[in-house]
């Protein structure tokens, strides 16, 4: 088994993905295609080239000796489709306009990184979180084991649209599951985000039956998740699985630059205002036995 991970980023002093001070590892690759995804660079399983013309010196008419000579002409002519991963990864772009999303992390390097932040984890009740993308689609077990052997709290932020086997294998090494809940009707789920809701429900049922510590995270997106019908389904879902910790947040448009960098189209969403967040949080608390926390970035 391959014991390296393909990451897009490591975030230290991460304070949104579980308790305390954490270091979050963003893994590359996801089965779903949520229109509101704010980390589009984590969707593909392969490394990808990104290019931000706005930042590029050549594009601004300034010489840049760091770039591949073959690219310079193309950038000037705005022909931007011939970047190759191997060539780009050799370039150390001075303005970070051109680069590759996706790099490998070995267990040994992972341990070094975690050790640096160990004291902060222990003193704050924090730890490590694997997010993404979908962390359950890569072999994270050696990493979880390494974390556990150091006595560190482990969390996974998953959409749970993965084969149940993947979930079963990691369960004993994970202290907290942060699980997204998105669209709860079978057809729309398939149609909009490309996920099989049955798989999701089976997985959440497994976690719930095993009395795992679960935080459910609900992204509010007008017209998709934040609809009358979906809210009713959400309340029923929370009751059915006796979920007690709910986090809600508004979808944001901070991923815009990344879409641009990947040459993908970004759909702009209405940001949910504070009173709508409050409204939803009160509704859910009233109808269920759960506690709702509003996440703000």
Q: State how far the Cα of 203 lies from the Cα of 176, in Å rounded to an integer.
A: 14
**Nearest partner of 249 among 271, 282, 227, judged by Cα:** 271
Q: State how far the Cα of 101 lies from the Cα of 255, in Å rounded to an integer.
A: 14
Residue 50 tokens, joined: 């990104």
Report which DSSP code applies to 98.
Answer: E
256 scored as a contact of other proteins (CB under 8 A): no
Stretch that binds other proteins, among 45-53, 112-120, 203-211, 268-276 (CB under 8 A): 112-120
Residues between 23 and 82 that touch other proteins (CB under 8 A): 24, 26, 57, 62-66
Report which secondary-structure segment, H or E, holds 144. helix 141-149
Interacting residue with other proteins among 104, 109, 119, 240 (CB under 8 A): 119
User: Could you tell me the smallest distance in angstroms from the CB atom of residue 13 to other proteins?
Assistant: 5
210 scored as a contact of other proteins (CB under 8 A): no
Beta bridge partners of 105: 5
- Looking up tokens 């004993």, which residue turns up? 172
Query: Which of 55, 148 has the CB closer to other proteins?
Result: 55
116 scored as a contact of other proteins (CB under 8 A): yes
- Looking up tokens 């095993």, which residue turns up? 210
Stretch that binds other proteins, among 91-99, 101-109, 143-151, 152-160 (CB under 8 A): 91-99
Query: Which of 20, 142 has the CB closer to other proteins?
Result: 20
Q: State how far the Cα of 274 lies from the Cα of 182, in Å rounded to an integer.
A: 20
List interacting residues with other proteins (CB under 8 A): 9, 11-15, 20-21, 24, 26, 57, 62-66, 92, 94-96, 116-117, 119-120, 123-124, 126, 254, 296-297
């Amino acid at each position: 088994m391959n014991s390296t991970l393909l990451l897009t980023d490591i975030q230290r002093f991460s304070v949104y993905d579980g308790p305390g001070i954490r270091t979050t590892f963003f893994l590359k690759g996801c089965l779903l295609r949520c229109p509101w995804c704010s980390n589009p660079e984590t969707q593909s399983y392969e490394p990808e080239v990104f290019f931000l013309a706005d930042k590029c010196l050549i594009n601004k008419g300034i010489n840049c000796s760091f770039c591949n000579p073959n690219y310079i002409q193309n950038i000037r002519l705005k022909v931007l489709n011939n970047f190759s991963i191997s060539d780009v990864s050799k370039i150390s772009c001075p303005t970070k306009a051109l680069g590759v999303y996706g790099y490998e992390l070995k267990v040994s390097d992972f341990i070094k990184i975690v050790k640096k932040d160990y004291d902060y984890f222990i003193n704050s009740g924090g730890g490590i979180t694997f997010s993404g993308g979908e962390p359950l689609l890569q072999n994270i077990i050696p990493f979880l084991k390494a974390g556990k052997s150091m006595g560190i709290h482990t969390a996974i932020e998953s959409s749970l649209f993965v084969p149940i086997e993947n979930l079963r294998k990691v369960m004993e090494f994970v202290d907290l599951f942060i699980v997204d809940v998105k669209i709860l009707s079978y057809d729309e789920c398939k149609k909009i985000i490309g996920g099989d809701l049955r798989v999701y429900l089976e997985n959440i049922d497994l976690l719930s039956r095993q009395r795992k510590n679960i935080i459910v995270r609900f992204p509010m997106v007008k017209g998709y998740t934040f609809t009358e019908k979906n809210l009713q389904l959400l309340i029923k879902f929370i009751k059915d699985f006796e979920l007690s910790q709910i986090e809600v947040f508004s979808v944001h448009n901070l991923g815009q630059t990344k879409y641009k960098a990947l040459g993908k189209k970004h759909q702009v969403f209405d940001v949910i205002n504070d009173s709508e967040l409050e409204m939803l949080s009160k509704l859910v608390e009233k109808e269920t036995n759960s506690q709702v926390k509003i996440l703000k970035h």
